[in-house]
């Protein structure tokens, strides 16, 4: 079984409006592409790459369904309006899938794809899928930077209710990605710079808090990650950004309150709201350090009126339109 399924352009559909010299919607702009066909372009290039895998969620004893997340987000991206100020290519590279429950091999395929996209000057937007996407995604960014011969520090910013720092002695899961990254960083004598915003006490054991403290993780709990505490949040972000050269952003949709994101692997009524996330994105955009982004844990079969998929798509739209 091929680890990368080609793009399905039938997912990209929308309304027909009068075209006044430029595409009105994303579905009119998207093109199917492949890593083999990718060439440099004078246009800005955005790469949509799906991670249609929830094997890690299953191993973490979560409710499965995130395998269908990437295509659900694509359908909501398709109908978004074109507000790009300069010529932009939207390239769909299809979905990485997991063959024979071999999660490690799947991670290897995704890492290679991310590294190749970055090498071609494309901005990767990865759609999950379980949050184990983070380990493979980070590894791909690290491979790209190492290939440039530059010893640059990667800062991970995770918007999430969970640390995902579980020990992987019994195997890799959607709960272990940042523990795995910390282990790799230690082995390579590289800095582990990890900032997690939206942490919930009710969703993490004391052992996980202790692990975060031992690893020097920067974090704010959900009671602090609010617009009412924006000065504190902004200071936290700016202090973190000063320590790193590049930023990899990962958004676990289960960090949002289930009022906004019911269709996730682990819903919570106590999560954060979109307004604080948009303000966070503004800071990251202004830093000019953001190198790659993913959204994880959308589980469409639990969604309501596609509200979680719509939220994911609007976050992508907000980010790249700027």
Q: Which residues are annotated as a binding site for Mn(2+)?
A: 131, 160, 162, 164, 252, 254
Q: What Cα–Cα distance (Å) separates residue 5 from each residue in 30, 95, 96? A: 17, 5, 6
CA-based end-to-end distance of the chain: 38
Report the alpha-carbon distance of residue 143 to residue 139 in Å, rounded: 6
**Residue 169 buriedness (CB in 10 A; 0-12 / 13-18 / 19+):** exposed
**Residue 63 buriedness (CB in 10 A; 0-12 / 13-18 / 19+):** middle
Report the alpha-carbon distance of residue 214 to residue 296 in Å, rounded: 26
Q: In the structure encoding, which two tokens stand for residue 228, read together?
A: 């009412």
Q: Decide if 247 contacts 197 (C-beta within 8 A).
A: no
Q: Decide if 31 contacts 99 (C-beta within 8 A).
A: no
Binding residue ranges: 131, 160, 162, 164, 252, 254
Strand partners, 48: 92, 125
Spatial neighbors of 207 by CB under 8 A, at least 6 apart, are none
Report the alpha-carbon distance of residue 72 to residue 62 in Å, rounded: 19
Q: Decide if 240 contacts 273 (C-beta within 8 A).
A: no
Spatial neighbors of 51 by CB under 8 A, at least 6 apart, are 70, 95, 96, 110, 126, 127, 128, 129, 130, 133, 136, 294, 296
């Amino acid at each position: 079984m091929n680890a990368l399924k080609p793009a399905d352009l039938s997912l990209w559909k929308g309304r027909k409006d009068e075209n006044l010299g430029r595409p009105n919607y994303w579905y009119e702009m998207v093109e199917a592409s492949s890593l083999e066909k990718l060439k440099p372009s004078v246009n800005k290039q955005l790469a949509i790459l799906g991670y249609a895998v929830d094997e890690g969620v299953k191993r973490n004893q979560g409710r499965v369904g995130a395998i269908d997340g990437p295509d659900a987000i694509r359908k909501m991206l398709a109908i978004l309006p074109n507000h790009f100020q300069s010529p932009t290519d939207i390239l769909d590279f299809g979905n990485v899938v997991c063959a024979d429950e071999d999660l490690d091999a799947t991670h290897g395929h995704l890492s290679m794809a991310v590294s190749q996209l970055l090498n071609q000057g494309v901005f990767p937007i990865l759609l999950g899928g379980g949050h184990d996407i983070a380990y493979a995604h980070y590894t791909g960014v690290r491979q790209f930077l190492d290939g440039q011969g530059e010893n640059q520090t990667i800062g991970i910013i995770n918007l999430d209710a969970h640390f995902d720092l579980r020990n992987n002695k019994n195997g890799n899961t959607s709960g272990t990605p940042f523990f795995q990254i910390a282990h790799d960083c230690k082995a390579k004598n590289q800095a582990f710079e990890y900032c997690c915003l939206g942490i919930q006490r009710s969703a993490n054991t004391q052992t996980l808090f202790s692990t975060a403290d031992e690893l020097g993780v920067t974090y704010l709990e959900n009671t602090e990650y609010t617009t009412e505490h924006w000065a504190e949040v902004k200071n936290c972000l700016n202090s973190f950004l000063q320590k790193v050269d590049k930023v990899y952003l990962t958004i676990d949709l289960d960090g949002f309150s289930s009022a906004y994101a019911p269709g996730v692997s682990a819903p919570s009524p106590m999560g954060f709201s979109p307004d604080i996330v948009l303000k966070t994105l503004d800071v990251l955009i202004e830093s000019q350090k953001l190198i790659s982004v993913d959204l994880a844990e959308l589980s469409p079969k639990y969604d309501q009126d596609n509200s979680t998929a719509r939220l994911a798509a609007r976050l992508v739209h907000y980010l790249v339109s700027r």
